[in-house]
Structure 1
Amino acid sequence: MDTTTLRNSLNPIKRLKEEFVSNLTGSSMIEIAALSTIIPILVLLRHSFNSSNVIGMSLRAVLDHTAANASLKKSDGLVIRSKSLKRYLAAIAVDFLIIVIPTLLFFTVLADWSCLCAILLVLLLLLLIAAKGMLNHSPTRESGNQSLRANISSFRVVVMITTCLCILAVDFRIFPRRYAKTETYGTSLMDLGVGSFVLANSLVSRQARNVSSTIYSSDNYFWCRLSRYQYWLIYGLNTYLLSNQRGSDIISQNKEGLFSIFGYWSIYLIGVQLGNSLFFGKNSSATLGSKRRARIIVWILALFFWMTTLLLDSYVERVSRRMCNLAYVTLVLAQNLQVLAILMLSGYVAGNETSVLEEALNSNLLAAFLLANLLTGLVNLSVDTLSTSSITALLILLVYAFILSIAMGLANFNGIRLKFW
């Protein structure tokens, strides 16, 4: 009996888990686009039910109120918070019901109906927009630059919600295998996780706010290097990176991670450029016109990158997360800009106030990610996820998501903001 056979026989659960995540080919881009439509629309639907109707006065309204009344800034704010804890938790619960639970269901039991549900939600969103138009509502000047940044915050929260749900759901059989990370080439929901995280943070990075930084202002800087990297991939580097043969040197042992830096660095630079030019640079201002301009540009870019991805995937090289090739970079940009573009329609939906859960998560994004990983580890140590029934798995995921939501809500309600830098 050789060493590998002996190891597999001694640890069958580990072997089953390795087989569970091996040889996966991903899903279609249409399904990815459908999921990227569903989640931001759920957030907009929550915005249409004004949070202040649930908690009496939202946290942001409380802060604005106390700031306007300096004499009550310390005492009044604390009193209002302490008296409205039940309403605040009720608002978190409503946000959980409207945003988190449907998202979790679309990642699991409703996965086969994602395209149909996306179409229905788009129609519902259009009805809401039309209803607001019939009521003669229109975006005001207060929804200028502040609202643009609120859209980015909502986008980052959507990325975090998706990430936190997937990192545990992927361990259960209820989570479709086509959504898990692919082996070599292919497109999946989890393949986009790291790229989305990089882009979401680059949009609000210090470099995006620094208009004088020349290295990030060159439009050709990242594309030239990314094109050169793609050229290397086509002419032999891809064979080396996807090969199972590894040498003893540090480069060979970490070849995918080292070379994929070219792709992820390009995503970061593009995000910095977009954040600077659309949201923080000298061309952006707190006017209604600037928001309309930004919205149009984001929609055009989203469509452009989707078309570019289809062409690259068909005629140059298929999307590959492991190599972070050009097609993967454009797919990350297309998918994330689509989410951001939909969220930027918030001005056309009545009652477009940020939900309490969004405010809570946005205040502690890193803490939410760390807590999600901690809870995921505890679940995996306590439960044999592969043999768990679908009903039990769904229940575990719901409890996990609820604990995460409540924890972040309580932290935000008590003014706790965890930062590690």
Structure 2
Amino acid sequence: MKSEEMMHSNGTTAYETYSVIVPFGFLTFITSLFNINFPNRSIPHRLIFEFNSLIVTSILIMTILSDYATEIIILLLILCILLLGVFRWKDSRPPKYNRHLNYITFARSTINILSVIGILAVDFTIFPRRFAKTKVYGFSLMDVGVGLFVFSNGIVASEIRGKHHSLLKSIKGTIPLIVLGCGRFLATSKLDYNVPVSEYGVHWNFFITLAIVKLCSACILSIVSVNRSLLIGTCLLLVHEVILQLGVAQFVLGNTPRTTFFNANREGIVSSTGYLGLYFLSVSFGKFLSVYVYNKSRKHIFKLCIMSVFLIWATVLLNKNFGASRRLANSGYCIWIMFIGISMVTIFYLGEIIKIFVCGCTNVPLIFEAVNYNGLPFFLCANFLTGSVNILCDTLSADNLRSLCILIVYMMINCGVSYSLFAKSIKIKL
């Protein structure tokens, strides 16, 4: 069971957190290269290869190999360079640039997969405690999940494509999330499943936060142009940080009795403004991608790199002055999430350009297509399986081998369900 003891109070460094995420970019590049150059493999063989190269390797990096993340990044980079020498184009001239790239699919699928691995892995002792959710301020792998989920939704917001929904339709769209949130609360209460109240509060949870962000953003974008997203997001984070510094942060992180609904759920309620600001910044970035996606690749890469450099500088500055807190969703945390999201998009984009230049085409792993096709259902399935595993076995007493086996089988089921739905073109809209 998850408990307060499972949460690390200090977390780890920003570098170590990022160094566990970055390898997924190289693993994706290597997997795509093999798929491109060995296109005649059967679907079962391809799925087995992708599962091992993407999922099993990621599980190992997040657990028993976490202390060697830097060395793994160097080895994977060398392997990528060597494979490029082997899988060079056959013609004497490089192929034409293909403007239909898949880096957004890569980024969104990566966020989903890493989050799903983490929500069960954290319950085992094989998962480093420094990667568990921080209790107050700091950086950790588990802290970035909810932020990156908001980011992945923002960069593909329907408003970016000019699709605006009525307020009534937007309200209806949040009902499934609210139902899921209430259902999760009732289920954890009835099953006596220990959920730390310091995450979101007593009654609040991840799904309620998503519902609030979805509803508020739809209301704002119904009267303000999506082109103002950067301004809106910046203003929201600025106002949010000012309010936190005026004493709200101390209230949220303090020991005030949870006697009223607001006091009981202060983490979820207060942090919603920060997540809303993060969402609008993500929408702004998604708008940037939609505008510049067809520009020359060099110009696009340069702009993405400049954004990443600026964001890591801003993260360092904000963390020095205000800290980074997932519980508060303060400016330091939100800008840190934007750095991770945009820098990973940059890595995936660069990989796409290189594959097209070297191999003449690009490729999306089947697992990525399946996960991206039903993103939220994939996450819901993982939540159900995580609860089941925690109820059926004592995760804290499991040794390393047993823990790895459970995690691998758990991901096999998640990916298997997602691919089955994808293969049958069944899309579950929530």
- Bucket of the pairwise TM-score, normalised by the shorter protein: 0.7 to 0.9
Structure 2: which amino acid aligns with 1:103? Answer: S
> How far 1:106 moved relative to its partner?
0.5
1:305 to 290, 298, 311: 311
Structure 2 vs 1, CA of residues 221 and 387 (structure 1 numbering), >3 Å: closer, same or farther?
A: same
The secondary structure found in structure 2 opposite 1:260 is helix
> How far 1:48 moved relative to its partner?
0.8
Q: Which residue is equivalent to 1:7? A: none
* Equivalence map 1:387-402=2 (5 Å): 387-402=397-412
Q: Which residue is equivalent to 1:97? A: 52
* Equivalence map 1:26-105=2 (5 Å): 26-50=11-35, 53-56=38-41, 87-105=42-60
Structure 2 vs 1, CA of residues 18 and 245 (structure 1 numbering), >3 Å: closer, same or farther?
A: same
Work out whether 1:382 is the aligned partner of 2:379.
Answer: no
> How far 1:401 moved relative to its partner?
0.9
Instruction: Give the % identical residues.
Output: 29
Contact residue 8 and residue 132 of structure 2 kept, 8 A: no
1:210 to 133, 154, 162: 162
Work out whether 1:293 is the aligned partner of 2:283.
Answer: no
> How far 1:258 moved relative to its partner?
1.0
Q: Which residue is equivalent to 1:140? A: 96
> How far 1:125 moved relative to its partner?
3.1
Structure 1: which amino acid aligns with 2:80? Answer: L
Contact residue 60 and residue 66 of structure 2 kept, 8 A: yes
> How far 1:236 moved relative to its partner?
1.9
Contact residue 50 and residue 353 of structure 1 kept, 8 A: yes
Q: Which residue is equivalent to 2:167? A: none
Aligned residues: CA RMSD: 2.3
Range 393-402 or range 203-212, more displaced: 203-212
> How far 1:132 moved relative to its partner?
6.7
Q: Which residue is equivalent to 1:348? A: 354
Q: Which residue is equivalent to 2:254? A: 243
> How far 1:31 moved relative to its partner?
0.8
Q: Which residue is equivalent to 1:339? A: 344
Using the alignment, how far apart are the partners of 1:18 and 1:361 within structure 2? 29
Q: Which residue is equivalent to 2:107? A: 155
Structure 1: which amino acid aligns with 2:78? Answer: L
Structure 2 vs 1, CA of residues 130 and 312 (structure 1 numbering), >3 Å: closer, same or farther?
A: farther
The secondary structure found in structure 2 opposite 1:217 is helix
Using the alignment, how far apart are the partners of 2:266 and 2:387 within structure 1? 27
Using the alignment, how far apart are the partners of 1:241 and 1:49 within structure 2? 49
TM-score if structure 2 supplies the norm length? 0.79
1:28-86 residue CA offsets vs partner (Å, 9 max, x unmatched): 11112212311111111101112573555xxxxxxxxxxxxxxxxxxxxxxxxxxxxxx
Structure 2: which amino acid aligns with 1:34? Answer: S
Structure 2 vs 1, CA of residues 19 and 221 (structure 1 numbering), >3 Å: closer, same or farther?
A: closer
1:225-249 residue CA offsets vs partner (Å, 9 max, x unmatched): 3112212222322111110213522
* Equivalence map 1:16-35=2 (5 Å): 17-35=2-20
Q: Which residue is equivalent to 1:317? A: 322
Q: Which residue is equivalent to 1:114? A: 69
TM-score if structure 1 supplies the norm length? 0.81
1:232 to 236, 243, 251: 243
Aligned length: 365
> How far 1:126 moved relative to its partner?
4.2
Using the alignment, how far apart are the partners of 1:139 and 1:18 within structure 2? 54
Using the alignment, how far apart are the partners of 2:280 and 2:243 within structure 1? 20
Structure 1: which amino acid aligns with 2:112? Answer: M
> How far 1:137 moved relative to its partner?
6.2
Using the alignment, how far apart are the partners of 2:253 and 2:55 within structure 1? 36
